[in-house]
Amino acid sequence: MKKQLSNITRLLLLSGVAVIMSTSCMFLPQKEVEETLKPEDKEGLTLVWQDEFNYTGVPDVNKWKYQTGDNGWGNHELQNYLDNSTEAKTAVVEDGVLKIKAFKENNKWVSARLNSKESWKYGFIEGRLKITDRKGAWPAFWMMPQNSVYGDWPKSGEIDIMENAPSTCGNHKVFSTLHAEGHYGGNGKSIGRKVYGDELSSEWHTFAVKWEENKISCYYDDVLKGSYENDRTTANWPYNEDFYIILNLAIGGDLGGPLNDVNTLGGEAEFLIDYIRVYQ
């Protein structure tokens, strides 16, 4: 999701065939599988952190902090990320759900970007999400390193658990992605996995990664979609430090694309989160 380069070319694995595609994101081509999540996949893991959003108001300040700004975020995005100090409620919890909202205020797009206050090294990280179908929106559930011990992005890594952009990718496709010095969007080698799903805006779906010392695997609705193994080089595997969780809803930009629907269908979009859980 971070992406500091525009007009980038990424490597897409689609049905076992490598395809070059401009300005999109993918995940995990090394092992492509379709297996249902088994109890042993979580064997020995304990739920260590969660937000079920079973309260009303703003996101739990003990668990989340806002990241603010309107600098385009390296992708020509249009939104200004606000915190909860303004009247524009871009992140609210109600009816057991976190709602991240993007809309226009004073003719400028506003939205929210939430970072978890805690960070983790390895584990099973899972979210149950409902994704907007508004073209021009760009919701994401991802992770960044707490400390950039190997250098600036992408050297210290990035784990994208779920990204979707209806304008450029359609409403039946999501992406999970790994970025590192040896494979990131800007050099045409982003390691990615394109996942075809059901209607993402009308149904709840779970997205997860199982992050181990020597392997990262991605899941969609408890089905294993792919995995990538440690090749023991820092350039390809900086995923041995603490990472924190990010939830955000961007507007426009290189992946978000044209604002067809968010401009015409009420001028707003929502990203819904039922829960986020971390097992270790």
Distance CA 175, CA 162 (A): 6
Distance CA 199, CA 172 (A): 6
Beta pairing class for 113-120 and 123-130: unpaired
Reading the block at residue 41, the tokens are: 């996949």
Say whether 158 is catalytic.
yes
Residue 247, Cα to own-chain centre: how many angstroms? Answer: 7
Say whether 34 is catalytic.
no
Distance CA 143, CA 131 (A): 18
CB-CB contact of 126 with 210 (8 Å): no
Q: Of the residues 158, 181, 212, 268, which is catalytic?
A: 158
CA distances from 31 to 51, 68, 191, 204, 211 (A): 31, 37, 11, 26, 15
Q: Of the residues 77, 126, 163, 270, which is catalytic?
A: 163
CB-CB contact of 108 with 39 (8 Å): no
Active site residue ranges: 158, 163
